[in-house]
Amino acid sequence: MPSLPERLRERISREGPISFREFMAAALYDPDAGYYARGAAIGEPGDFATSPAISPAFAGAIAARFRRETERFEEPIDFVEIGAGDGRFLADLAASLAREDPSFASRVRLTAVEGSASARERLARRGLPGP
């Protein structure tokens, strides 16, 4: 199979210029050679670190605010994360909600949305539902 750069060059030769969005979608989400398909290295020793990769404190802060803003809503209450990665944030958020207010936590439905097939597999292994 041709490499991703070769496939992109071939596509551009055949179809003309592609948008930055299309280029980034290929670079990140190509099922064979995209960054996430190759096993993205996210976290302090990896390519970049995000708040959820460093500490569960970020998820705890969001959980507290989410509970304050939605506890008066009727059940169920949906929390949807777009670009959920490996699900660490949602797992930490669920743990924080359960620790602080188990009754409220039982009313919350978590949904993880992820464009990368390999990340969706990791989410499924964590038991986090997708759309």
80-128 pLDDT, tens digit per residue, is 999 888 888 999 999 999 999 999 999 999 999 988 888 888 888 888 8
Query: Amino acid letter at 35?
Result: Y
Q: Is the pTM of this model over 0.75?
A: no
Q: Is the pLDDT of residue 71 over 90?
A: no
Q: Which of 27-36, 42-51, 57-66 has the highest mean pLDDT?
A: 57-66
Q: What gap in Å lies between CA 116 and CA 42, rounded to an integer?
A: 14
Residue 4, both tokens: 């991703």
Distance separating alpha carbons of residues 110 and 93, to the nearest angstrom: 9
Beta-bridge partners for 111? 80
pLDDT band at 38 (very low <50, low <70, confident <90, very high): confident
CATH class of 51-126: alpha beta
Contact 115, 84 (CB under 8 A): no
